[in-house]
A and B are shown apart, each in its own frame.
Chain A
């Protein structure tokens, strides 16, 4: 059984659930309509959209097994789409704490002039059950003026990952102010004279 996931940039294609409600929903817009004095018709403030930071012309998606047993080798298949006419695409993978990424697959270079879609398989294993992060980066090296890197991470599951993950995550230190306002406490480095 395989899971698949697409990078954020490609998710733009199917974001019906976004808080920045899709503009295409104009005919069924749930927003409160507003009267505009100059017209008898009803108009609405355009729904908020999400304006995103610029990114390299690179997207990364992946497919991977649902889980592998501890000590077994799993393989993630990455698909990298890029929009550069030439140059070298350098792909690198690194395991997070407890995850080994091994073999010649951890780093590879591909020619961007010959294709815009590149597939890449990365092998991994972990000695203990759990969920681990596998970090990858795709660097489009065109010339001395263009070296664009996009980073990406996937979570791989090993063994009885659910129970291994049952330990509670570290929680932020929350505190209630005198007026009832909840705040997240960040302890300062403080000097007092």
Chain B
């Protein structure tokens, strides 16, 4: 006979029923959700009881997956009527006693199945942590935490029930909480839906690199996570996370001050009727793509708001185009879908395979456009039906380029130029074909610094992509403008930062002076001297109105410098100014 326990959020667990495994059938409360959910597939039969006074408890852990409507390339709505139970793959399942002490644990397999052995005739609760962990081969440890409740981990809990004297089966399902037209119950499935998208991602990467080590990752999700706030940990505790994003935080350990020790963190929206992302795998994998860049590769992106219509700083354009393309690669669907609005019935979608400039003139293409980057990267990856280009590389050359030491240690910024320069050296990649993909997106520069680029987005000062400075070589002109400010902001668009490359043949003491020569009367110039993905902070750049200077000793080598006017990066003014930049 079968016992089924309800899943009301309120107060049920503290009074968890101790029941015999041979109990009666009880109607399922369902937590207000799951009315349209098909039952999970039957678990494998329990093995025979061991002879040592122990019994085995096995079963399957599932969660409600709400898919998108996919009738067209612009469909974004969540289709609650098509909710199904999917296996919770690779998550930690524990058998605990009444005090929450772990008696046994297992990790679910690719079908969501688990098995634990516990003492016979003992009260036991089976619980599934919102934690994916693998400790051999490719390794990872990824948790979903409630940022509105002390950053505690979510745990899907069954009832405290006697283990009996024979092997038994306990299946757990995390309900969506959806009623008829709204969420009426606990959204228990959300953390597991998020983890499932990540499981798909890490296993795809593990297929390319069987020994990849993913640094620990935490995901903050709460049903109250909304698109406001300032991004601080204090605001995160209030559910004010700005938007779904990736960053590194010290929220769980505020004493940390070294950015290198900050924990990789993905934040996911949960504000129903406005924007929820737990059932938007495109968003989750996109943000995981940023984590991948930051933790396993190299990312110089400057972050913040962006859209396909924007002309972006080239570092940001590359990072975001990568995130979009990566989600398409992992999910096997070139259409990126992000649901939002009333009942999650609207949203935002686009195909990374489509030429986005064909009908919507506002979506530019070039080295500064995420739409171009996503199309190039996806074209390197894709093959078979729908592939409209000669490159069919799969994930391996892309992964290998991202993790190649030549790429991660580059003394240039990570842009489409740097990546194309690397991926063309990977096995199975034809450099001429990469050139063809670039040209098709109006990207004409060559090499890691885009030498000879002619696409200036209509603003001549953004070329060349890198200005070349030499010691004693006289002034060069650098500029900063917010000419490409857009509805998504102005601090991170093309032209705000001007890139300079400086090569020293030997260790030298140098002075760098940037002085305003034209444009706004009052500017606040600044620049950073980068060594790979780090920049010099001491000696500091000395700033005064219209001037910035730096003096110090640099060893032989190439340095990337990004110059900017803080009036543009901090939004305190909207300047369009140029400066002389002298290295002596």
B21 within 8 A of A: yes
Measured between beta carbons, the chain A residues less than 8 angstroms from B299 are: 51
Q: Which residues of B contact A21 (CB under 8 A)?
A: 259
Assuming A187-B31, A189-B173, is B246 touching A51 (CB within 8 A)?
A: yes
Cβ contact of A190, chosen from B5, B528, B557, cutoff 8 A: B5
With a cutoff of 8 Å between Cβ atoms, the chain B residues found around residue A1 in the complex are none
Produce 1/0 per residue, A49-63, CB < 8 A to B: 111111111110000
B157 touches A43 (CB 8 A): no
- A186, B10: Cα distance in complex, Å: 10
Mark B44-69 against chain A: 1 for CB-CB distance below 8 A, else 0. 00100000000000000000000000
**Are A44 and B537 in contact, with the CB atoms below 8 A?**
yes
Interface residues in B225-241 by Cβ distance below 8 A to A read 226-233, 236
CA–CA, A27 to B539, complex, Å? 8
Q: Does B418 interact with chain A (Cβ within 8 Å)?
A: no
Please, which residues of chain A bring their CB within 8 A of the CB of B555?
A: 38-40
Query: Is A51's CB under 8 angstroms from B319's CB?
Result: yes
Pick out which of these stretches binds chain B: A12-20, A65-73, A101-109, A121-129. Answer: A12-20
User: Which single residue of chain A is at the shortest CB-CB distance from B486?
Assistant: A83
Q: Tell me how far the C-beta of A141 lies from the nearest C-beta in chain B, rounded to whole angstroms.
A: 10
- In the complex, A179 Cα to B324 Cα: how many Å? 40
Which residue in B232, B336, B347, B570 is a CB contact (below 8 Å) of A24? B570
Q: Are B538 and A41 in contact (CB under 8 A)?
A: yes
A19 contact from B2, B247, B350, Cβ within 8 A:
B247
- B537 and A26 within 8 A (CB): yes
Q: Which of A17, A45, A57 contacts B308 (CB 8 A)?
A: A57
Residues of A20-34 contacting chain B, CB below 8 A: 20-24, 26-34
Q: Are B246 and A187 in contact (CB under 8 A)?
A: no
* Residues in chain A near residue B171, CB distance under 8 A: 190-191
Q: Report if A162 contacts B (CB, 8 A).
A: no
Is B306 positioned at the interface, with any CB of A under 8 Å from its CB? yes
- Closest B residue by C-beta to A14: B571
Q: In angstroms, how far is the closest chain B Cβ from the Cβ of A134?
A: 11
Do the beta carbons of B243 and A8 come within 8 Å of each other? yes
Digitize A167-181: 1 where CB-to-B-CB distance is under 8 Å, 0 elsewhere. 000111111111101
User: By CB atoms of chain B within 10 A, which of A59, A174, A187 has the most?
Assistant: A187
Bound form: Cα–Cα A21–B258 in Å: 12
Q: Once the chains bind, are A55 and B243 in contact (CB under 8 Å)?
A: yes
B505 nearest CB across to chain A (Å): 15
Contacts of A20 in B (CB 8 A): 231, 247-248, 303
B487 and A19 contacting across the interface, CB-CB below 8 Å: no
A52–B5 contact, CB under 8 A? no
The proximity string for A residues 182-193 relative to B, scoring 1 for CB distances below 8 Å and 0 otherwise, is 111111111111
Name the contact of B360 in the complex, choosing from A10, A16, A41, A143 (C-beta under 8 A): A143
Contact, CB under 8 Å: A192 / B128: no
Contacting A43 at CB < 8 Å: which of B96, B242, B534?
Answer: B534
Chain B 267-287 interface 0/1 with A at a Cβ cutoff of 8 Å (1 = within): 000010111010000010011
Tell me which of A12, A28, A54, A189 contacts B30 (CB under 8 A).
A189
Per-residue interface assignment for chain A, residues 147 to 183, with 1 indicating a CB less than 8 Å from any chain B CB and 0 otherwise = 1111111000000000000000011111111110111
Q: Is there contact, CB below 8 Å, between A8 and B526?
A: no
Residues of the A chain whose Cβ atoms lie less than 8 Å from the Cβ of B553: 39-41
A10 to B368, CA, bound (A): 20
User: In the complex where A84-B362, A142-B360 touch, is A49 in contact with B488 (Cβ < 8 A)?
Assistant: no
Q: Measured between alpha carbons, how far is A152 from B290 in the docked complex, in Å? A: 25
Alpha-carbon separation in the docked complex, A20 to B299 (Å) = 14
Q: Does B101 contact A (CB under 8 A)?
A: yes
The smallest beta-carbon distance between A93 and chain B, in angstroms, is 10
| Beta-carbon contact of A41 and B554 below 8 Å | yes
Pick the residue among B14, B19, B34, B287 that contacts A192 (CB under 8 A): B19
Of the listed stretches B143-151, B196-204, B513-521, chain A binds B143-151
Inter-chain CA distance A58–B156, complex, in Å, is: 38
Say whether A186 contacts B174, CB under 8 Å: yes
Interface centre among B232, B274, B487, B541 (most CB of A within 10 A): B487
- With A26-B540, A137-B341, A145-B74 as contacts: A188 and B7 at CB distance below 8 Å: yes
Distance in Å: Cβ of A135 to nearest Cβ of chain B:
6
Tell me if B535 and A18 are in contact (CB < 8 A).
no
B74 touches A56 (CB 8 A): no
| Interface of chain B residues 248 through 263 with chain A (CB within 8 A) | 248-251, 257-260, 262
Taken together as a complex, chains A and B put the C-alpha atoms of A149 and B173 apart, in Å, by 32
Q: Are B323 and A94 neighbours in the complex by a CB distance under 8 Å?
A: no
Interface status of A81 (Cβ within 8 A of chain B): yes
B102 at the A/B interface (Cβ < 8 Å)?
yes
A105 and B226 alpha carbons, distance in the complex (Å): 25
**Which of B210-218, B444-452, B489-497 lies at the interface with chain A?**
B489-497
The one of A26, A139, A192 in contact with B2, judged by C-beta atoms closer than 8 angstroms, is: A192
9 contacts between A and B (CB under 8 A): A5-B228, A26-B526, A39-B553, A49-B303, A53-B277, A81-B487, A85-B362, A184-B153, A188-B172
Chain A residues in contact with chain B, CB under 8 A? 5, 7-24, 26-34, 36, 38-59, 81-86, 94, 96, 116, 133, 135, 137, 139, 142-153, 170-179, 181-193
Nearest 9 pairs of A and B residues by beta carbon: A13-B571, A178-B101, A49-B303, A48-B248, A9-B305, A57-B309, A186-B188, A187-B7, A149-B346
Q: Give 8 A-B pairs besides A51-B323, A145-B358, A192-B159 with Cβ atoms closer than 8 angstroms.
A: A10-B305, A11-B228, A18-B230, A34-B260, A54-B320, A83-B307, A175-B155, A186-B186
